[in-house]
Amino acid sequence: MEESRGYVLLVDDDKDFAKVVRLYLEKSGMEVAVALSGKKALKAFDARKPDVMILDVNVPKMDGMEVCSAVRAKMGTQHLPIIALTAFHSPEKKKQMMEVGADVYLTKPMDLKKLVAQVEQLIGGSK
C-alpha cells in the first residue's frame, strides 16, 4: 500500500459536501478524517494531529472560530495550516477567522481541484 501524502482533518456538518471533499483528497493520496461538529473536531484533533485542518466556519456545538481559537491555544500548533471554509462571503467574517488563526479563507462553492492543490501546497510547506 502506498504511503499517505498527508493527514487532513475535515470539519464540516454538511455530510454530502464532506464526503465529496474526502473523496477528492483521498484520490490525491491523503488520509482524511471527518468531524461533523466543533466538539468532535477537537476530539479528533486531540486523538491525532493533522497536517492540515479544513474547518467550516458554521459547524454546530462550537463554531469554526471557537475551534480555530482552541486549536491555536494548544502547544505546538502554530505551524498547523488551517483552511477556513465557508459559504459566508463576508469580509468581516474573513477578518475574524484570520484573527483567530486561520491561514486561508475559502468560500463555497469552490473548485475542489483547487482545494486539493491548496492542501497539497500547505502540507508540502509544513513537513
* Residue that is written with C-alpha cell 469552490 in the block: 110
For residue 7, give the H/E element and its range: strand 7-11
Distance separating alpha carbons of residues 114 and 69, to the nearest angstrom:
26
pLDDT for 1: 39
pLDDT tens-digit profile, the chain (127 residues) = 345 689 999 999 999 999 999 999 999 999 999 999 999 999 999 999 999 999 999 998 899 999 999 999 987 888 899 999 988 788 998 999 999 999 999 998 889 999 999 999 998 865 4
The pLDDT of residue 8: 97
Angle at CA of residue 10, ends 32 and 121, nearest 5°: 75
